[in-house]
Structure 1
Amino acid sequence: MKLFGLISLFILTSLSSNAQDMLRLEDAIQQGLQNQYSIQILKKREIQAANDNSLGNAGFLPTITGTATKNYTVSGLDQEFFGGLRAPLVQSGVKSNNGNAGIAMAWTLYDGKGMFVLRDRFKELQNLGAKQTETSIENLIAQISTLYYDIIRQDLRVNNFRKGLEISNDRLKLAKDRYEVGQGSKVDYYSAQVDYNEDKALLVAQEQSDLNTKISLNTLLVRPHLTTFQTLAVIDLLPKLNLGELKEMALKQNPALMVALVSKKISDLDTRNLKSQQTPQIDLLAGYAVNNVVNGAGFGVQRGSSDVFNYGLRATINIFDGYNQKRRIQNAKINAEIAQLQIEDTKNQLIAAIERSYTAYENALNLISLETENYTIAKQNIDIAFDRFKIGIATSYELREVQRNAVAAETRLIEARYAAKSAEIELIRLSGNLL
């Protein structure tokens, strides 16, 4: 019986019976991008940055304020006049009121181009928010992809251990039958039982690891943790990546590097904005006000109103503020220098990360070639050893060693393919190509 040939049948059966639970990588990524809270938060911050990027916030538009007041008074009068020319005036509960309403406008005509700098700054802040969102999206896609292929790795390991358990079960049955008919020893029977129990324990532990990984993916996709699903049991690899092309693309479009570059632009704009505050600011002022009064005292003006319109220019300039403006400009220039250093540091770290990942990637590809050959030989050995064991030529110990070698060879092949895929995903992420 060619037990290692059962893997294809197992996969096809699993897929046909669980087609409704099949989760493709593209679907997992889509769910993660839609449901992940961190992405939702970043998108809302993008909306905030877009709202801030307006002409009014930059200072291009005038500010217009309106005011209105109405005052009521109740007063008493007790007045005597010189020479008796007029009778004394005694009043109580005298009601009077006055009101005024007005509108005022201030419009900055010139501020050393500060408003243009602010407009550019808000534009770059919006761009920065978009780049930060893009970075988080690429990181999330990489996490989901790596975890998805980890589940495939765990599934393949489960299947590998199941095949090993099937061999141990067949060996146990043969050992038991031989012992019962007096052709085998009790030691061989008990050894087969112990090995079967050991393989069963390994399978249970691997199934638990598989379940834990699926729970982790469900958590990342923000859906019920115990949601069941199936994956295609294939760790597929892209054509071999080129190191030089990866570095070139990373320096052009890596999201983290783009964030550093935008931050440098914002630092430069902060310096220009502070310098603009050293120039005079000229504002156009205009206003209109209406005032009315009602006097219940019985003398003077009984009722009246007036209105006034005013306009003019206002120029302001900071003459001396204890050198604080100079200090702020110096610090802004230092911040720009720091931002430039951060760009160079990001580039350095980025190239180093690509070099490390590419080394791991190449090593994994070499191991795949090696372990594929080992696995092919191990499959042949297990079939030969099992046939020899059935006819009594091979010992129980020999079969067990061949079985262990076969399971270990397939496990190493699975691990090599997963390591290559993980490195491949990381290289694509670093190059800025996951989107």
Structure 2
Amino acid sequence: MRRILFTLPLFLFTFIGLAQEQMLGKEEAIAMTLANNLGIQVARNTQKIDENNANILNSGYLPSVTANAGGSIDKQNTEGQLANGETRTADGVETRRYNASVNVNYTLFDGLGRYYDYKSFKERSLQSELEVRQTIETTVLQLFTVYYEVARLTENTQNLEQALAISKDRLTRARYQFEYGQNTGLDVLNAEVDINTDSINLLNSRQQLRNTMRDLNLILNRELSTAFSADTTVNFVSGLEMENMHNEAKTNNVRLQIADRQMNINQLNIKSARSAFLPTIGLTGSYGWNESNNNSPLAFTVQNSSTGVSGGINLTWSLFDGGRAITGIKNVKIGYENQELLQKQIKLEVERDIRNAWDSYTNALYVLEVQEKNLQTTLNNFNRTDERYKLGQITSIEFRQAQLNLLNAELAQSQAKYSAKLAELQMLQVSGQLLNVEF
């Protein structure tokens, strides 16, 4: 059992070493996400649909042109009486008729409904661009949440490997001391237990690291088993101030910008609904050809054909439609009022979010500073403890406690570092600056 526990970490160390052959930089991760992420691709396709809807071809300003053509054959047995009293009959009389026409319809005026609808489509296209940006911001934040978790687990794994190496060295020293009668077998047993504990902790950390790597590959939309290593360096944006972040949030927050566009759309919808009270004026034109052939001896005309152009203007004015137009305008106005309320709610939420984000950011920086100082103090304490342990001035239990204190300090400092960076990214997202900084 003891041999298995000592061999397994070496196997896992080899696995992680292979995974670290390819460094996945932050900029590379962003580029891959923007190019491959499925959620971003869906948002961009939705934007293309809205761009198509905002095209002149969907505006109603262009005329409609239709072509019609037809033909028929009619066979009948006929009988007729002439003026002199003579009766004539004809069997299988065939009549052929052909026609073709091109028709043009154009709306000159529809109460300005299409004008406001067209402007509404334009606003919706601009709003769709903002929604793509919102999706990108959310995905980038998700990307770095997982990316920095990979980095944190990488550092944790390295710290646990160091802890295991220290425990192995301690076991070797305890065995030598036992062989020369300098201690009891209890120190050897304690060292073996600590090695088993450190091995299990390392095993769990490596498993978490592999799982998180798969999570990141999923965001990047690539093969889940792709091996890579994350950059563990963290650079913070300098010169951030609460007042500037607050002003940036009021101007550049994507949720506020989307809400503003929706307000414009609702205003245009009200104006479009009012067009139902105005008349519609249209032009029509047609160019047609007709031909008829009749082989009946009783027919006065055997063949007849005609071509011609026709045109007209029409006016339609719905004086009363049962109240549907009035109801529609009332409902659109209520929708506008709801959007005003929603916009106020979003402004309050953004105000809250930027203040919370700033407080979390400054608090996280302070915690990081404290943890870095604590790590240095703990490291100094461990170095002194290690020297005293080698001289036989302290027990293995005291040495183990100093070792655990160092490990916990390393893990806490790593957690504080990445928590502070994520708090910074969340604040930048609320302020609308997430895509304008270097990571």
Task: Please tell me the residue identity of whatever aligns with 1:434.
Answer: L
Could you tell me which residue of structure 2 aligns to residue 434 of structure 1? 434
Instruction: Quote the residue 1:168 is aligned against.
Output: 167
Q: How does 1:137-176 map to 2 (within 5 A)?
A: 137-176=136-175
Letter in 2 for 1:63: S
Count of aligned pairs = 420
* 1:138 to 1:279, Cα distance in 2 relative to 1, 3 A: same
Structure 2 counterparts to residues 187-336 of structure 1, below 5 A: 187-239=186-238, 241-298=240-297, 299-336=299-336
Retained in 1: the 8 A contact 2:110–2:278?
yes
CA distance in 1, matches of 2:142, 2:239: 21
- Which residue of the partner structure matches residue 39 of structure 2? 38
Q: Which amino acid aligns with 1:344?
A: K
Q: Indicate the SS of the match to 1:212.
A: helix
User: 1:232 Cα deviation (Å)?
Assistant: 2.1
Instruction: Report if aligned partners of 2:104, 2:284 keep a CA contact under 8 Å in 1.
Output: yes
Q: Quick one: which amino acid aligns to residue 151 of structure 2?
A: I
User: Is there any run of 5+ residues in structure 1 with no aligned partner, and where?
Assistant: 1-13
Which residue of the partner structure matches residue 116 of structure 1?
115
Equivalents in 2 of 1:180, 1:304: separation in Å? 126
Q: 1:77-96 maps to which residues of 2 (within 5 A)?
A: 77-80=78-81, 85-96=84-95
Separation of aligned partners in 2, 1:99 and 1:78: 25
Distance 1:240 1:18, change over 3 A: farther
Measured in 1, the distance between the counterparts of 2:57 and 2:27 equals: 42
Aligned partners of 1:149 and 1:235 also within 8 Å: no
Deviations 1:149-199 (A, max 9, x none): 111111111111111111111111111111122111111111111111111
Letter matched to residue 203 of structure 1: L
Check conservation: 2:18, 2:227, Cα contact below 8 A. Answer: no
Q: How far off its partner does 1:112 sit?
A: 2.3
- C-alpha deviation, 1:416, in angstroms: 0.8
Alignment check: 8 A CA contact 2:26 2:231 kept? no
Q: CA-atom RMSD, angstroms?
A: 1.9
* 1:70/1:100 contact within 8 Å kept: yes
- 1:221 and 1:54 map into 2 onto residues whose CA distance is 33
SS at match of 1:400: helix
Identity %: 28
User: How far is the alpha carbon of 1:62 from its aligned partner?
Assistant: 1.5
- Look up the equivalent residue of 1:252 and give its one-letter code: T
1:363 deviation in Å?
Answer: 1.4
Provide TM-score, normalisation by structure 1: 0.92
The alpha-carbon deviation at position 17 of structure 1 amounts to 8.8
Q: Is 1:366 the equivalent of 2:359?
A: no
Aligned to 1:6: none
Alignment check: 8 A CA contact 2:270 2:332 kept: yes
Cα pair 2:63 2:107 within 8 Å, conserved = yes
Q: Distance in 2 between matches of 1:236 and 1:174?
A: 41
Alpha-carbon deviations, 1:329-354, whole Å to 9, x = none? 01001111111211111111122122
Unaligned residue ranges in structure 2 (runs of 5+): 1-14
User: In 2, are the aligned partners of 1:152 and 1:235 still within 8 Å (CA)?
Assistant: no
Aligned residue identity for 1:320 = F
What amino acid does structure 2 have at the position aligned with 1:55? I
Q: Secondary structure at the match of 1:112?
A: coil
